[in-house]
Amino acid sequence: MPYALVDDVRIYWESHSRGEPLLLISGVSGGTWSWEESIKALSPYFRVMVFDNIGAGRSTKPDRTYRIGEMADHAAAILDAAAVEQAYVVGLSMGGMIAQELALNHPQRVSRLVLGCTHCGGSERIPPAPEVIRRFADNKGLSPEEIVDKNLHLLVTPEFLQSGSELLQRYRERQVKAPWQPDYALQRQLEAIRDFQTCDRLNRIRAPALILTAEQDFLVPPENGRILADRIPDADLEEFSGGHLIYLESAEAFHGTVLRFFQNSGA
């Protein structure tokens, strides 16, 4: 199994297909398994790389402070391990925060940037309702199945949850079977988000950027995407219906939008 080693941390990663490199960066508690539909949709066109963030999946899970900037260094290390100088980058939720830091701290590694359902942190951030984040963070006494079902009520709309979607069922099964995340690692990832702030640096991003929001995003209200679009030079903004997991609930529209954005790059 491929790992990238950064100091005392081993980051598990995968590469799928061939073509122009595309790095997908997942959010809290997510990892390689989160991207099944995106790998299937995008690997006919790109070399798709995915990885498990520190504290999740098959990567190292130290009980210490995590930083979003550190996670961006891990993303750059994946590109090094894959022998890729520059890639298209898609980051969703916490992955979008990591992608911001990657574009800021390693600008030469990012050719074009998609930020989905994410924010720039600090006082500029529009937070979710307090009960939403409390519910998401509290896994005490719950089984893996109960955690997944509890979180799905926050990540997708009630309509999608009740739709009987095969995509949703497969996603749930993958989440239940994913490597267990200790509660301390979840809390360390959430602490990293609380300490994250790029709002006053976004004007330094030079990669062409596309910002994606979801109208019914309970975790990251769509106003956050509009802030990003206002602060990143020449960024485009597209809004989807549905909830936070746009690559699942709005899968066809999401993958079509990402594909057009990258294919129109002239690369």
pLDDT at 266 over 60: no
Please compute the mean of the pLDDT values over residues 180-188 and round it to a whole number. Answer: 96
Please compute the mean of the pLDDT values over residues 40-58 and round it to a whole number. Answer: 98
pLDDT, tens digit, 9 for 90 and up, residues 123-145: 999 999 999 989 999 999 999 99
Residue 1 pLDDT level (bands cut at 50, 70, 90) = low
pLDDT, position 182? 95
pLDDT, tens digit, 9 for 90 and up, residues 201-252: 999 999 999 999 999 999 999 999 999 999 999 999 999 999 999 999 999 9
Residue 264 pLDDT level (bands cut at 50, 70, 90) = confident
pLDDT at 265 over 90: no
pLDDT, position 267? 45
| Domains within the chain, CATH numbers bracketed | 3-263 (3.40.50.1820)
DSSP code at position 5: E
Distance CA 263, CA 68 (A): 29
> SS3 letters for 191-222?
HHHHCCECHHHHHHCCCCEEEEEECCCCCCCC
pLDDT, tens digit, 9 for 90 and up, residues 164-175: 999 999 999 999
Mean per-residue pLDDT of the chain? 96
What is the residue whose two structure tokens read 């949703």? 168
Residue 66 pLDDT level (bands cut at 50, 70, 90) = very high
- Name, in order, each residue with C-beta under 8 angstroms of 146's C-beta and a sequence gap of 6 or more: none
pLDDT, position 133? 87
